[in-house]
Amino acid sequence: MPAEVPGPVELRGLRVLVVEDEFLVAMDLELMLQELGCEVVGPIGDLARAQRTAAEETFDVALLDVNIGGQPVTTVADALVARGLPMVFCTGYQAENLPDRYPAAPTLMKPFQATDIAAALRRAAAGASAG
C-alpha cells in the first residue's frame, strides 16, 4: 500500500520556486511546502540566480521575498509576469511598501504558518487561471 502524501490534494506535486535570502526563513518555507506535498525549486537567496531561474526553469508558482540582498525582487516578478506564472510575495514589511504593479499576487506577512502558505498558493493559482 503506497504511503499517503501529506497536504491538500490540490497542492500535491505543485512545483514552487522559493526566493528567500534569509536562511532560516528559507528552510522553514521549504519544510512547510514539503509538508503540503509541494516540490520545492530552490530556495534561492541570490537575485541574479533567481532572475535566471524565473526566466528559464519549470515550476508552477513562486514565493518571493520582496527584498533579496537589499534589492527589490521586481525583476524576478517581471520575469514571472512575462511567462504568465503566478507568484506570492512574502514580506516582513508593511503591505504599503509592496510593489503595486502586481495586484493579482497575494501577500504573506511574516511570520506565517503552512495554512497561510496553502491559502496564498490557492489564491495565486486561482488568479492565474482567471487571467
For the record, the C-alpha cell of 122 comes out as: 490557492
Number of continuous H segments (helices) and E segments (strands) in the chain: 4, 7
pLDDT of 10: 76
- How far is residue 78 from each of residues 25, 62, 84, measured CA to CA in Å? 23, 12, 10
Query: pLDDT (tens digit, 9 = 90+) per residue, 30-82?
Result: 999 999 999 999 999 999 999 999 999 999 999 999 989 989 999 999 999 99
Structural domain containing residue 38: 9-130
Position 2 scores a pLDDT of 40
Spatial distance between the Cα atoms of 22 and 115, rounded to a whole number of angstroms: 21
- CATH code assigned at 105: 3.40.50.2300
Into how many domains does the chain fold? 1
Q: With respect to residue 1, please indicate whether it lies within any of the assigned structural domains.
A: no
Give the pairing of strands 61-65 and 87-91: parallel
Rg (CA), the chain: 14
pTM over 0.85: yes
pLDDT value, residue 96? 57
| Residue pLDDT, tens place only, 96-117 | 556 677 888 888 888 889 999 9
